[in-house]
Amino acid sequence: MLKITNLSLFTVLLILTLEARAMNLQEYLNIVEENNGAVIAAKKNTEAKLQRQDEHTSSFVPNVFLNGIYSNDQRPNTSPAVLGTKTDRTYYQGGVTQAFRTGTNATLSYNILKTDMTGATAVSEPLFYDVYPQLELSQSLWRNFNGNEIRAQETQQKSQARIEYLSESLKYKQLLMKAELAYWKYYFSQKNLAVQTENLERAKKLRDWNQRRFTEHLVDEADALQTDANYLARELEFQAATEDLAQAERDFLSTIEKESADKSLLNFSEGEKEIKNLNLLKLSVITGEREDVEISHSLLKAAEASASLGLERNKPIWEVYGTYARTGRDAKESKATADAWKNEGPYTTVGTRLIWSLDFAAVSRYKSAYSLEKINTDINHRRKVYEAEKEWKDLNLKYQELQKRLTLVLKIADTQSKKLGSEKKRFSSGRSTTFQVLQFEQDYANAQLSKLKIEEAILALYAQSKLFVGTKYE
């Protein structure tokens, strides 16, 4: 029974439930997901990356801002009677700013400025408030015109987030595929050991029987030595199968990060049922596209966005901007606030700005480099798609070939079993030789082992197919 130290309640209950019967593949994978640290981390990372898929939209969400500034100005001036000897200013600002996909930036703010001019005797109101709601707008006319640069940044961020998600998803699938292969390796190692055990038992019975006949002078010494040599050969195969099972068990337990497990969790009858019920036809209906192909496609989008972004960044900056504010000024803050909304002292500015790089050669070189990067990424993507399609076709072809081989080897195994039974009857009646029986037993054992190898190869291909989009671990 599995140790229950540090296991979750779910896992403990699951294991207790499974004690009385075999654990099927899905139940085993559930335990792997509960206990395997690498699988747990990959799954959580996949979920985290999935939740970040829309992070690129955060650049276009309105942002609230607050500013507060205090200044104390005691610098000497040429007109102390007007400007005073010291000026204290307290400035508060709050508002909302937003960037739009059209390349437009807008800021709406509410501003309060308190000014206290100490020593300004020629000024009627040395302490006064400026209150003004203000709207600021800017629009790109060349670089980032119509939001080209912003959209390229958005596509780049979106593609990067997609790549990170797909990478974690692929890692998660690969870990589960590795665990599934460990499951089937453990199962078939047990089956192989069972076949080798039967071979060893048959060889021992035949050796003991022939030894008795030899002592009774009914067979030659060569026959006795032949059965003894056959027994030693089967013993060697049994030892190899035992070692193979021990390694498969260690690999199996490592996937659930345990040192030991109840051997009854896996038995032959359950495995046989699972193999027979396995829907192998799924290979013909899934899409045949893997996460690494989707990653390649996202890399292509990111390269295209990077190229567009690079081209935009090397364009001259030309933008127009404007500010409109309603202002109010008074010694009392409440009066200044009321005046600001009367629109009696509006403040308006309109301007334009142009910045142009003089390194024309460098700009041209950068544009060429971005275009080459895009072309290279497109070539790599096409190659990745070709390789995935080829691997998918090869997978299906191997699958069909193995199915045909399995059908044939099942017929061979059945025929070998019947042939062996018939030959044993002939041997008992003295119409056959020891060598002939040994040969037929070996033929039957080889047919059984061939069946196991083909079944294991089929299930390995099926596990590999789950790396393609469409077949999921659920």
User: What values do phi and psi take at 210, rounded to 5?
Assistant: -70, -30
DSSP annotation of 142: B
Categorize the per-residue pLDDT at 101 as very low, low, confident or very high, splitting at 50, 70 and 90.
confident
Work out the burial of residue 386: count CB atoms within 10 Å of its CB; fewer than 13 is exposed, 13-18 middle, 19 or more buried: exposed
Extended strands (E) in 244-376: 289-290, 317-326, 328-330, 346-355
CA atoms within 13 Å, Cβ hemisphere of 352:
4
In the structure encoding, which two tokens stand for residue 6, read together?
Answer: 């540090």
Instruction: Band the pLDDT of 238: cuts 50, 70, 90.
Output: very high
Q: Which of 59-63, 95-99, 399-403, 469-473 has the lowest mean pLDDT?
A: 469-473
What pLDDT does residue 72 have? 94
| pLDDT value for 90 | 96
Cα separation of 147 and 152, whole Å? 8
- pLDDT one-digit tens code per residue, 141-156: 888 888 888 888 888 8
Query: Among 124-133, 257-266, 275-284, where is mean pLDDT lowest?
Result: 275-284
Long-range contacts of 89-96 (CB under 8 A, 24+ apart): 89/113, 89/114, 89/115, 89/116, 90/114, 91/67, 92/67, 92/68, 93/65, 93/66, 93/67, 93/68, 94/64, 94/65, 94/66, 94/67, 95/64, 95/65, 95/134, 96/62, 96/63, 96/64, 96/65
62: part of which helix (H) or strand (E)? Answer: none
Percent of the chain with pLDDT over 90: 19
What are the structure tokens assigned to 308, written together?
A: 């567009």
Q: Which is nearest to 132 in space by CA: 331, 339, 334?
A: 339
Q: Where in the chain is the domain with CATH 1.20.1600.10?
A: 21-53+155-299+376-469
Q: What is the dihedral of CA 15, 19, 21, 25, to 10 degrees?
A: 30
Residue type, 222: A
Of 388, 174, 392, the closest CA to residue 282 belongs to 392
Say how many Å lie between the first and final Cα of the chain, rounded.
26
Q: Looking at the predicted structure, is the pLDDT value of residue 28 above 50? A: yes
Contact between residue 266 and residue 187 where contact means Cβ atoms under 8 Å apart? yes
DSSP secondary structure, 223-243, as one string = HHHHHHHHHHHHHHHHHHHHH
Distance between CA 210 and CA 434 in Å, rounded? 8
Instruction: Please tell me the predicted confidence (pLDDT) of residue 156.
Output: 85
Helix spans in 56-109 (H) = 80-83
Query: What is the reported pTM?
Result: 0.70
- Contact between residue 184 and residue 459 where contact means Cβ atoms under 8 Å apart: yes
21-53+155-299+376-469, which class in CATH?
Answer: mainly alpha
The two three-digit tokens of residue 293, written as one number? 């192909």
Distance CA 217, CA 297 (A): 79
**pLDDT tens digits for range 282-317:** 555 455 567 888 888 888 888 888 888 878 888 888
**Residues 384, 376: Cα–Cα separation, whole Å:** 12
Please give the residue that has the higher pLDDT: either 446 or 266.
Answer: 446
